[in-house]
Chains A and B, each alone.
Chain A
Amino acid sequence: MRAHELSLAAAAEAIRTRRLSPVELTEAVLDRLDRTEPLVGAYATVTAERALGIAHEAEREIAAGRLRGPLHGVPMGVKDLIDVAGVPTEAGSRVRTGHRAESDSAVAARLAAAGAVLVGKTHTHEFAYGLTTPQTRNAWNRGRVAGGSSGGSAVAVAAGSATFALGTDTGGSIRVPAALNGVVGLKPTYGLVPRTGVTSLSWSLDHVGPVTRTVEDAGLVLAALTGPDAGDPASLPALPDPGTNPQHPTGRSNPPDLTGLRVGVARDYYFDRVDGQVEAAVRRALAHLEALGARLVEVDTPMARYVQAAQWGLMVPEATAYHERTLRAAPDLYGADVRVLLEAGALMGAGDYLRAQRARTLMRQAWEQLLEEVDLVAAPTVPTTATPVDEEAVTWPDGTTEAVSDAYVRLCAPANLTGMPALTLPVGHAADGLPVGMQLIGRPLGEPLLLRTGHAYEATRPAHELARAA
């Protein structure tokens, strides 16, 4: 396996045992980036020179016996909403032309402290307010959308131009592109990873998390990101057992054993208006979890009818509030799709916002009750594989049509509304070769169980092939 194809865990082990140097790895990833960028356009900014400088420093430190941990010397990308000192945070928007971040976001600082090597900033749908990331193409088929809004991060990881990446997720923006590009994405529990220095879309729904090639890698990155930060009012205090200790994120058992695990499978909602090939791949994956010892339990999706209403009722006014001043001063600098949503958001009343907040209270209670009956819920991440880039709506067999963005948010939004952790992992491909993702939704701070379950799946159904279109 070539260096740019290695998982984070494999690269870390090769670095630890001195079979691979951080400079060799970074050069291999940069070479790959040079070849794939003209095809898929995952990066907004590439910091090659800086990356090589950090890699050389990592190499010297490691040679001197000061290995910081599994991220030390490993090249990665961060979504272009996340501040890195001295580098622009353009957020996919002309509004940010000429921007330069003065300081590191909390997560960038933590990755730097862990010794990770920034390769560049990855494309986002403008201000994360969209699900396609039009600057970037799908890593498996360049005629298909990358997904979004963390499209650049998912495509870079799938294509081999980053060993891992960070994304943000307000209604699925880590999980959607991860699923559409055949990689792993984790939206952690709300508040577990601080958002200080990260451009907001919707304060009460935003999360930062890893995009990786394997579930094991997601646990390794998460472990470097968690912990309180005074700059984020939602940041959780220090936890006695946040469950992200690198010693046990994936709880290795050999052979993997999920005996006794109760996996909720929804009778409704999560399999409604879902493409037949997506459903078939997810049901095969569920059968595999069952073969590993899990027990599948039929459940009803709490308050399914109100998911979209609550998501919009929170996100729309919060996004408009964030952009209030620039929207007044320079509306022409926004893209047409984002501008009209921001403008229309100014017309939403406090009554609608409060109803959405009260619906969130009820949803959270109902989901907590559901997750007393089962240990996690497994479902498709998105109802369809990557759509053609010029397609605006999906037509379902029942004759209904749905905007592509609405379809991609539909199955992801419950975890944003409830704040519960959700992991997507690849579970196969449709007949046309496009990847399918399965989502595992767990209890608050239930990341270890999601990671253990996902790792049990991937350990027995490995999918390490790099994407074909890149």
Chain B
Amino acid sequence: MPTDALTPQEAARWADRSGLPLDADRHAEVAATAQYIHSVVSVLHEIDFADTPPAPTYRVPEDVRGGQRHCARA
């Protein structure tokens, strides 16, 4: 287990703070899964986002929606 791994106690406290109190028998399993999820998503720390804004959802560009772009080839 990595030294910064989430402990069952920490998982219980974080879940409680986010409004999801967990029974004691859930703490270890949830901590392990949360740790794995963290290991997957933390790769994004490598990216220098500079001024990149978030994209809450995908939006088709206006020029594509207007049927002006690409339609000839499509």
Contact = CB atoms under 8 A, between A and B. Distances in A.
A449 interface: yes
B54 A354 contact: yes
Interface in B38-63: 38, 40-47, 49, 52-61
Interface in A253-270: none
A204 interface: yes
Interface stretch (A140-148, A272-280, A305-313, A457-465): A305-313
Contacts of A360: 54-55, 58
Given A340-B33, A448-B74, A328 B15 contact: no
Interface size class of A (residues with CB under 8 A): 35 or more
Given A191-B58, A347-B34, A446 B45 contact: no
Contacts, number: 144
A355 B58 contact: no
Given A328-B19, A347-B15, A355-B49, A234 B57 contact: yes
A220 interface: no
Interface string A191-205: 100000000000110
Contacts of B37: 312, 316, 344-345, 347-348
A225 B71 CA distance: 20
Contact of B47 (A241, A316, A355, A446): A355
Nearest to B69: A443
A358 B53 contact: yes
Contact of A362 (B19, B45, B47, B73): B47
B65 A237 contact: yes
B64 interface: yes
Interface residues of B, number: 43
Nearest to A238: B65
Given A343-B15, A354-B54, A313 B41 contact: yes
Contacts of B70: 443, 445-446
Contacts of A190: 57-58, 60
Interface in A307-356: 308-310, 312-313, 316, 324, 327-328, 340-341, 343-348, 352, 354-356
A344 B20 CA distance: 10
A359 B44 contact: yes
A294 to B, nearest CB: 13
B65 A356 contact: no
Nearest to B70: A443
Chain B residues touching A, majority SS: loop
A449 B74 contact: yes
A361 interface: yes
A189 interface: yes
A122 interface: no
A110 B66 CA distance: 24
A312 B40 contact: yes
Chain A residues touching B, majority SS: helix
A316 B30 CA distance: 13
A239 interface: yes
Nearest to A192: B60
A156 B60 CA distance: 32
B41 A348 contact: yes
A241 B67 contact: yes
Contacts of B67: 239-241
A327 B73 contact: no
A93 interface: no
A126 interface: no
B3 interface: no
A235 to B, nearest CB: 11
Contact of B54 (A234, A361, A443, A444): A361
A136 interface: no
Contact of B30 (A308, A343, A419): A343
A347 B30 CA distance: 9
B53 A361 contact: yes
A444 B57 contact: no
B49 to A, nearest CB: 5
A419 B41 contact: no
A346 B43 contact: no
Interface in B8-35: 11, 14-15, 18-22, 26, 29-30, 33-34
Contacts of A309: 40-44
A234 B65 CA distance: 13
Given A306-B43, A343-B22, 15 more contacts: A204-B58, A241-B67, A243-B74, A306-B47, A312-B41, A340-B30, A344-B11, A346-B19, A347-B15, A354-B54, A357-B54, A364-B58, A375-B73, A419-B60, A444-B61
Task: List 10 A-B pairs, minimum CB-CB distance, nearest first.
Answer: A419-B58, A357-B54, A344-B33, A344-B34, A241-B67, A355-B44, A190-B58, A361-B55, A309-B43, A347-B34
16 contacts: A241-B71, A316-B41, A324-B19, A340-B30, A343-B15, A346-B14, A347-B30, A348-B38, A358-B49, A358-B52, A358-B54, A359-B44, A362-B47, A364-B55, A419-B60, A449-B73
